[in-house]
Amino acid sequence: MGLLSLGTPLTWHEAKQHNNLVRSNGIEQLINIHRQSAARTHDKFYWGDEVEYMLVRFDAALSRATLSIDEDEILNVLHDAHPECVAHNISFHPEYGRYMLEATPARPYDGRALADYLYVEQNMAYRRSVSRAHLPRDVVPLTITAFPRMGLAGFTSPPHEPNGVASQSLFLPDEIINRHVRFPTLTANIRARRGSKVAINLPIFRDTRTDMRDALIPATPRGLFTHDSEPYQGAALPGHVYMDSMGFGMGCSCLQITVQAQDINEARYLYDSLANFAPVLLSATAASPIFKGYLVAQDVRWNVISGAVDDRTPYERGVAPLAEHKLFGGLDVDEARTDKHAPHARDGKDIQRIPKSRYDSISNYLSDEHTTGYYKPEYNDVAAPINAGVYAKLQANGFDAALANHFAHLFIRDPLVLFSERVSNSDNAVDNDHFENLQSTNWQTLRFKPPAPFVEGQTAADPETPGWRVEFRPMEIQVTDFENAAYSVIIPLFARAILKYKPNYYLPLSQVDANMVTAHGVNSVLEGKFYARKHTGLDVSDFAGFDLGWFDRKISQLQSHTAPVATEKDEYNLANGVAVATGDDSVVEVSVNDVINGTATQPGLVHMVTKIIASTYPDASVEQLEQLQAYLKLVSYRASGKLPTFAKYARDFVVAHPAYEADSRVSEQVNYDLCVRVAQVTAYEEVGLFGKELGAYLMKHRR
């Protein structure tokens, strides 16, 4: 979650006058980091995952499953120096919800070491067992993306009325919010800046007996806060589930992967190359078909979180004239901002429309023509307003245009939380707090993470401190450690394949954005058509045979001691540099299956990863190969439809439940039974989600 400074948070109106101070200090800090680390090189290929948990309380007598908001003391107990955390290399972090935990490896994995890939799942299992052991028996840490009945009466334990001043939600009590003052302040300040509560509307999935009105909106305004009237004034759309608070989004769980590149240019190429895999892997990991007790007509969480932290003023969102901007919390006119795509120059005013929420897909590629021969300016074809003052300052301090543009875009945002103690108190030569304030509240599909600053006098950063990293953020959390390990390890392995085989995956970002929309659809994993580059420069014949069958052949070769299968030969000579440019920018429409399992003309992610495994780990044992193959099978089978996503599994579970009334509603009983099922799947007591083949594998190896 970035940093959790202690201190006195300022309200939005107090903090507002310091916005420029935070931005200008943040930029000074970034300039310092860049000056120190731009030439940093030969960093190790470290990586790590982040898994988010919900603490679910089971009451068997009442058939109720609730979010436990009274067990957050566990985070004070399981601090990094706790012997069990040290012993198992695990680290727990606070998250937005008081019912949430985040856990990561304490030290990152070595992405060159086969043993580390095979150990990820064990590390995840420790996080679960250690936290579980510090919770009461009836509270279980589950990895579900969205709690099905969040926002309905009594969905927490203990129960609370939704009447809190921070969120002012009609549905979510403030007691779900992390007790650390940063989180209610974030919640309140987003609302204050926006000038209204956030409004998230998801289409209700229509069944035969569905009443298409959100039954949870009170028939008449509550009359507790002025914002209570908003759903009757257009904030709630007909036919949609209406959600009005940050918690609906930031209270979701997800799976994030951070990989470290050897230098800044490699990180920039990796970031760009992964951009179009964000929508594809969002679709492939779909796990959230239920919100606020309704089956919805989409399968993923992304737009819920995007809407949940959308702090743009009505003017910035494009729904109100400029005059209304100043009524709300928006930027003062001393801000220098321009929009290079649509210069507004409105009466010489420097505020501007902002097309996306601060939680959204990326709007700029990071590379330029000098850092990769693939990049073309026309790929950056979505409106990405910048803070012109920041841009000029970065350019004057050694940032190239693309890099300056990236950060100048992030810095159109205002800081959301500012602690009074930090206002005039930073040493920009050693701190990064003001930079991180904005960096870590720009929640995009990918995050480009610069190194931390190091103390003056040192000549170079300690190689064990983080270098230039890329975080891959779109994926939904999966129920089991097996699945989360699978979707985790494929990312660094795929990243290695990208760095080694150097595909050209550039696509205009407008098409990547269209893919994000596609990824939301029900069953988009099978039905969605995604834009992709036709010519990537990869020769499909180089990857022939590097499919799931490669593992079988390799395993039987090891078992029968026959002649080696001639597949691990690696003819690539991949000195750093630019591969053959593919000038043809044709775009095709492909399925998730095409991307993951390949086509007649393009190797799939599975091929790329398998070839990396084959060429890097020729001595892998049968057991190790089986484990890697099981991960790839899961990813492959989900993409081909041989196995369902959790979104499909949960939707089918609800619809088939005897207590379901064909009204798209998820009752207390159905919610309880679904959560019980999730707990069983988590423990591999129930493996139907994985089909016969992987089910048998899990029964044999994980129970």
Binding positions for ligand ADP, rule: CB under 6 A: 1-2, 46-50, 93, 104-105, 108, 256, 258-260, 466, 469, 471
**Nearest to ligand ADP of 120, 666 (CB atom):** 120
Q: CB under 5 to 8 A by kind: which of Mg ion, ligand ADP, none does 508 bind? A: none
DSSP 632-656: HHHHHHHHHTSS--HHHHHHHHHHH
Q: CB under 5 to 8 A by kind: which of Mg ion, ligand ADP, none does 253 bind? A: none
Q: Of 665, 674, 687, 545, which is closest to residue 614 (Cα–Cα)? A: 545
**Nearest to ligand ADP of 2, 549 (CB atom):** 2
Q: CB under 5 to 8 A by kind: which of ligand ADP, Mg ion, none does 239 bind? A: none
Rounded to whole angstroms, the Cα distance separating 144 from 56 reads 10
CA 282 to chain centre: 9
- Rounded to the nearest whole angstrom, what is the least distance from the CB of residue 622 to Mg ion in the complex? 35
**Nearest to ligand ADP of 466, 695 (CB atom):** 466
Rounded to whole angstroms, the Cα distance separating 249 from 358 reads 13
Instruction: Calculate ∠ Cα 253-54-88, nearest 5°.
Output: 95
Q: CB under 5 to 8 A by kind: which of ligand ADP, Mg ion, none does 476 bind? A: none
Q: CB under 5 to 8 A by kind: which of ligand ADP, Mg ion, none does 297 bind? A: none
**Nearest to ligand ADP of 2, 158 (CB atom):** 2
DSSP 389-451: HHHHHHHTTT--HHHHHHHHHHTTSPPS--BGGGTT---TTT--HHHHHHHTT-EESEEEEPP
Q: CB under 5 to 8 A by kind: which of ligand ADP, Mg ion, none does 499 bind? A: none
**Nearest to Mg ion of 53, 530 (CB atom):** 53
**Nearest to ligand ADP of 473, 638 (CB atom):** 473
List, in order, residues 6 or more apart from 406 with CB less than 8 Å away.
364, 366, 448
**Nearest to Mg ion of 160, 340 (CB atom):** 160
- Rounded to the nearest whole angstrom, what is the least distance from the CB of residue 525 to Mg ion in the complex? 24
- Rounded to the nearest whole angstrom, what is the least distance from the CB of residue 115 to ligand ADP in the complex? 16
Q: CB under 5 to 8 A by kind: which of Mg ion, ligand ADP, none does 466 bind? A: ligand ADP
Q: CB under 5 to 8 A by kind: which of Mg ion, ligand ADP, none does 46 bind? A: ligand ADP
Segment holding 280, helix H or strand E: helix 277-284
- Rounded to the nearest whole angstrom, what is the least distance from the CB of residue 47 to ligand ADP in the complex? 5
List, in order, residues 6 or more apart from 315 with CB less than 8 Å away.
321, 322, 324, 325, 330, 351, 353
**Nearest to ligand ADP of 251, 289 (CB atom):** 251
- Rounded to the nearest whole angstrom, what is the least distance from the CB of residue 155 to Mg ion in the complex? 14
- Rounded to the nearest whole angstrom, what is the least distance from the CB of residue 262 to ligand ADP in the complex? 11
Q: CB under 5 to 8 A by kind: which of Mg ion, ligand ADP, none does 469 bind? A: ligand ADP
Count other C-beta atoms under 10 Å from residue 374's C-beta.
Answer: 26
CA 131 to chain centre: 23
Instruction: Calculate ∠ Cα 254-296-487, nearest 5°.
Output: 25
- Rounded to the nearest whole angstrom, what is the least distance from the CB of residue 469 to Mg ion in the complex? 10
**Nearest to ligand ADP of 267, 612 (CB atom):** 267
- Rounded to the nearest whole angstrom, what is the least distance from the CB of residue 117 to ligand ADP in the complex? 14
- Rounded to the nearest whole angstrom, what is the least distance from the CB of residue 174 to Mg ion in the complex? 6
Count other C-beta atoms under 10 Å from residue 220's C-beta.
Answer: 9
- Rounded to the nearest whole angstrom, what is the least distance from the CB of residue 3 to ligand ADP in the complex? 9
**Half-sphere CA count of 549, side-chain side, radius 13 A:** 6
**Nearest to ligand ADP of 49, 339 (CB atom):** 49
Amino acid sitting at position 651: R
Q: Which residue is nearest to ligand ADP (CB)?
A: 48
Q: CB under 5 to 8 A by kind: which of Mg ion, ligand ADP, none does 108 bind? A: ligand ADP
Does residue 325 contact residue 314 with C-beta atoms inside 8 Å? yes
**Nearest to ligand ADP of 12, 271 (CB atom):** 271
**Nearest to ligand ADP of 152, 491 (CB atom):** 491
DSSP 650-682: HHHHHHH-TT--SSSB--HHHHHHHHHHHHHHH
**Nearest to ligand ADP of 95, 414 (CB atom):** 95
Quick one: three-class SS letters along 164-229?
A: CCCCCCCCCCHHHECCCCHHHHHHHHHHHHHCCCCCEEEEECCCCCCCCCCCCCCCCCCCCCHHHH
Footprint of Mg ion on this chain (CB under 5 A)? 50, 102, 160, 163, 173, 256
Q: CB under 5 to 8 A by kind: which of Mg ion, ligand ADP, none does 160 bind? A: Mg ion
- Helix, strand, coil share (%) of the chain residues, nearest 5: 40, 15, 45
- Rounded to the nearest whole angstrom, what is the least distance from the CB of residue 440 to ligand ADP in the complex? 6
Q: Of 60, 58, 85, 250, which is closest to residue 141 (Cα–Cα)? A: 58
**Which DSSP letter does residue 458 get?**
B
Beta bridge partners of 296: 204
Tokens of 446: 């990918």
- Rounded to the nearest whole angstrom, what is the least distance from the CB of residue 554 to ligand ADP in the complex? 29
Q: CB under 5 to 8 A by kind: which of Mg ion, ligand ADP, none does 49 bind? A: ligand ADP
Q: Which residue is nearest to Mg ion (CB)?
A: 256
Tokens of 233: 């004034």
- Rounded to the nearest whole angstrom, what is the least distance from the CB of residue 98 to Mg ion in the complex? 13
